[in-house]
Structure 1
Amino acid sequence: MLFVLLVQAAVQLTIRAQGNLTSYGKASQSTLFGGSNPQGAILPPITNNYTVASCSTTNTAGAPKNAWWRFQFSFEFTFITEITIYYRKNYDYRMDGFKLYVTNTTTIPPVGYLCYEDSDPGLPNITQNIPCNQLGKYVIYYDDKGDVETNTGPVVELCYVEIIGCEKGMWETNCSESCSSVCIDQHCHPGNGSCVWGCDEQQCLNKKWDKQTGVCTEGCVNETSRICNCTNCTSVF
Structure 2
Amino acid sequence: MSALSAVLVYLIPFVTPGQTYLQLVEHGYTTATSSSTYTNYIASRAVDGDVSQDVSRCSHTDDKRGIKEAWLRVDLKKKYSITSVKFWNRNDVNINSRRLRGYSIRVSSDTALPPPESSCYTDPGIVTLSTIIEKDCERTARYVWIYQDKTPQYNDPCPMLAICEVQVFGCELGKYGVSCTKTCNHCKNNATCGVASNKCNEEGCAHAGFQTPYCQNCIDGKYGEECSENCSKFCNRRNCNGKTGTCTDGCLAGYSGSRCDQNCDTGKYGFNCRKSCENCLEGICNNVNGICTKGCESGFKTSMCNTTCDKGYYGRDCKHNCSGNCLNGEVCDPRDGTCPSCVVGFQGTKCDQKCSYGTYGGNCSEICGGCLNDTTCHHVSGQCPSGCKPGWKSTPKCDLPCTTGTFGLNCLNVCSGHCLHSAPCDRRTGHCQDCSQGWTNNFCNEQTGKPKTDLERMTLEHLKLDNERLAAETAFLKTKEKYLWLKINSEFPIELKNKIKPSISERKLSQMKPI
Same fold (TM over 0.5): yes
Q: 1:210 to 1:108 in 2, by over 3 A?
A: closer
Secondary structure in structure 1 of the residue aligned to 2:147: strand
Structure 2 matches for 1:155-174, cutoff 5 A?
A: 155-171=160-176
2-structure distance, mates of 1:127, 1:135: 24
Secondary structure in structure 2 of the residue aligned to 1:92: helix
2-structure distance, mates of 1:216, 1:13: 35
Shift in Å, 1:108: 3.4
2-structure distance, mates of 1:200, 1:109: 28
1:21 alignment partner AA: L
Shift in Å, 1:97: 1.4
Shift in Å, 1:112: 4.9
**Partner residue, 1:18:** 21
Shift in Å, 1:169: 1.8
| Structure 1 spans left out of the alignment, 5+ residues | 1-9, 219-237
Structure 2 matches for 1:194-205, cutoff 5 A?
A: 194=198, 196=200, 199-201=205-207
1-structure distance, mates of 2:16, 2:25: 24
**Partner residue, 2:344:** none
2:74 to 59, 71, 76: 71
**Partner residue, 2:85:** 83
Q: 1:200 to 1:45 in 2, by over 3 A?
A: same
| Structure 2 spans left out of the alignment, 5+ residues | 1-14, 211-216, 227-515
Structure 2 matches for 1:1-237, cutoff 5 A?
A: 12-14=17-19, 17-23=20-26, 25-47=30-52, 49-52=53-56, 54-75=57-78, 77-89=79-91, 90=94, 91-108=96-113, 110=115, 112-171=117-176, 175=180, 177=181, 179-186=183-190, 187-191=192-196, 194=198, 196=200, 199-201=205-207, 210-211=218-219, 217=225
1-structure distance, mates of 2:16, 2:127: 33
Instruction: Give the number of the structure with larger relative contact order, counting CA–CA contacts within 8 Å between residues 6 or more apart.
Output: 1
Task: Please say if residues 66 and 145 of structure 1, whose CA atoms lie closer than 8 Å, have aligned partners that are also in contact.
Answer: yes
Moved more, 65-74 or 100-109: 100-109
Q: 1:104 to 1:111 in 2, by over 3 A?
A: farther
Question: Could you say which structure has the higher strand fraction?
Answer: 1
Shift in Å, 1:120: 4.0
Q: 1:85 to 1:199 in 2, by over 3 A?
A: same
Q: 1:86 to 1:11 in 2, by over 3 A?
A: closer
1:50 alignment partner AA: D
2-structure distance, mates of 1:11, 1:117: 23
1:20 alignment partner AA: Q
| Regions of 4+ moved over 4 Å | 172-175
Shift in Å, 1:142: 0.8
Question: Cα deviation per residue 1:204-236 (whole Å; 9 max; x = unaligned)?
Answer: 9xxxx7336x99936xxxxxxxxxxxxxxxxxx
Q: 1:27 to 1:216 in 2, by over 3 A?
A: farther
Q: 1:156 to 1:210 in 2, by over 3 A?
A: same
1-structure distance, mates of 2:129, 2:108: 23
2-structure distance, mates of 1:92, 1:32: 19
* Matched pairs, number: 199
**Partner residue, 2:452:** none
1-structure distance, mates of 2:112, 2:102: 19
Shift in Å, 1:152: 2.5
1-structure distance, mates of 2:172, 2:62: 32
Q: 1:41 to 1:11 in 2, by over 3 A?
A: closer
2:219 alignment partner AA: K
Q: 1:195 to 1:95 in 2, by over 3 A?
A: closer
Question: Could you say which structure has the higher helix fraction?
Answer: 2
Question: Cα deviation per residue 1:105-148 (whole Å; 9 max; x = unaligned)?
Answer: 43336455111111142432222111111122211111111245
Secondary structure in structure 2 of the residue aligned to 1:145: coil
Question: Cα deviation per residue 1:29-50 (whole Å; 9 max; x = unaligned)?
Answer: 0111222221211223324x22
Task: Please say if residues 58 and 156 of structure 1, whose CA atoms lie closer than 8 Å, have aligned partners that are also in contact.
Answer: yes
